[in-house]
Amino acid sequence: MFRLAKAFVVLATAMLVACSVSVNYDRGDQPDPSIPDNPVQVAGYYGVGNAASPEEIAGWDIDIRPDGLGLPVGSASAEDGEMLYEDQCAVCHGSFGEGVDRYPVLAGGEGTLTESRPEKTVGSYWPYASTLWDYIHRAMPFEAPQSLSDQEVYAITAYVLYLNDLVDYEFVLTRDNLASIEMPNRDGFFVDDRPDTSNEVCMINCKDPASIRITSEPELVVNVSPVVRSPGAGVYDQACSVCHAKGVGTAPIPGDNADWSERIGKGRDELLSSALLGIGIMPAKGGHAYLSDDEVAAAVDFMIELERSFFE
Ligand code: HEC
Ligand code: HEC
């Protein structure tokens, strides 16, 4: 069924392309003699498209079943995969599968599935090793999917299994033994056969919808205090924060008392005048000459306000 579905996709694509060819016939004219017997005409029921070639089908038919069906011939050890993994995967997934930044963690996390923050990795979560082979082959490395040879996929799959303590470093992964690898969470999935609703479907003599009364009304609760930002916040974000949020140079960080307290003693007028005219290495209006004086004033007020909120 799966194979058939894929063949249809190829066929459908071919049909879309072929439509432009068939326009000549739709006009009700005689077939254009400059177009030889339309070769796609014979292919199928609608007279368009080509039968998917074995190569085209093979391009789609890359799924690997849990029992290993679909795996190509090949074998490689975790050891073989180490350098490949280091070269092609570690930049995102980490040398130990720990995940760099927010890239997925591939190893560890065993026993965390019942915790409030489960760490779902190949080792802790995935039920079948076949998925690992399939996924790496299909989708990784992220920036060059399907660039790995089958042999390399065997090697890297073995290595990721090794990172999860599921096989030894010398372990040789083959087409024949991949399905026999027992993943720790293999029994953690089950078919959820609960019905979508517990109601019986009514097909005959059903209740008149007009007679159905809704017995409870949703309550409209308006109890959200909106976050009010000062008018100067936007100006500050766009024109001032680039220096002031991080304290570039000597730029005081609003809210940071040590930086700001001395200055705030100068009073608003003085601060505003500095902001308008520039001070030290800060250019007038922070270099944003297009700002109106009022906008700069609003930003200064916002900065002063940030200081206050610091003490609240
Ligand atoms: C440029 C960064 C990058 C590189 C290099 C990379 N990956 Fe990934 N990988 C990702 C991202 C992003 C995802 C998540 C993709 C998604 O969820 O659609 C991912 C997902 C995965 C997953 C599934 C994780 C999960 O739990 O869902 C596996 C397994 C995996 N990568 C293995 C590899 C292997 C093996 C290599 C080396 C051949 C590799 N990756 C190289 C970025 C990368
Ligand atoms: C290019 C970086 C930069 C930008 C952009 C910038 N500032 Fe400054 N700002 C500084 C530096 C540096 C100082 C400290 C100068 C000194 O005292 O020597 C400063 C000081 C200040 C002071 C304190 C003045 C005083 O008298 O002590 C205020 C108020 C101020 N900036 C407001 C603003 C406002 C408002 C904006 C946006 C419209 C802004 N700054 C944009 C770098 C910047």
| Three-state SS at 201 | coil
Could you give the CA distance from residue 279 to residue 300 in angstroms, rounded to a whole number? Answer: 14
pTM given for the model: 0.52
| Better-scored residue on pLDDT, 75 or 41 | 75
Range of the domain at 18: 2-52
289-312: average pLDDT: 83
Mean pLDDT throughout 182-188?
95
In a domain? residue 206: no
pLDDT(158) > 90: yes
What does the pLDDT average to over 31-60?
A: 70
Check pocket membership of 280 for ligand 2, CB cut-off 6 A.
yes
pLDDT tens-place string over residues 251-291: 998 888 777 878 888 899 999 999 999 999 999 999 999 99
CB 145 less than 6 A from any atom of ligand 1:
no
Q: Which atom of ligand 2 is nearest to the CA of 232?
A: 35
Is 297 domain-assigned?
Answer: yes
Q: State the Cα–Cα distance between residues 65 and 246, nearest whole angstrom.
A: 53
**Which ligand sits nearest to residue 275's alpha carbon?**
2
Residue 1 above 60 pLDDT? no
Tell me, yes or no, whether 13 and 105 share the same domain: no
Mean pLDDT for 133-145 is 96
Is residue 89, in this structure, part of any structural domain at all?
yes
Asked if 66 and 130 touch (Cβ cutoff 8 Å), the reply is yes
Q: Report yes or no: 260 and 306 within 8 Å, Cβ to Cβ.
A: no
**Residue tagged 């409209």 (tokens):** 220
Q: 188 Cβ partners below 8 Å, 6+ apart?
A: 113, 125, 127
HEC string for 23-92: HHHHCCCCCCCCCCCCCCCCCCCCCCCCCCCHHHHHHHCCCCCCCCCCCCCCEEEHHHHHHHHHHHCHHH
pLDDT of residue 27: 43
Separation of alpha carbons 164 and 125, rounded Å: 11
Tell me if 18 CB under 6 Å of ligand 1: no
- Report the alpha-carbon distance of residue 8 to residue 14 in Å, rounded: 10
Q: Are residues 47 and 79 in the same domain?
A: no
**Number of domains comprising the chain:** 3
User: Is residue 185 assigned to a domain?
Assistant: no
Tell me, rounded to whole angstroms, the distance of Cα 35 from its chain centroid: 47
Q: Return the half-sphere exposure (C-beta side, CA atoms, 13 A cut-off) of residue 75.
A: 8
Q: Identify whether the C-beta of residue 130 lies closer than 8 Å to the C-beta of residue 122.
A: no
pLDDT at 199 over 50: yes
Q: What is the CATH number of the domain that holds 134?
A: 1.10.760.10
pLDDT tens per residue, range 70-105:
999 999 999 999 999 999 999 999 999 999 999 999
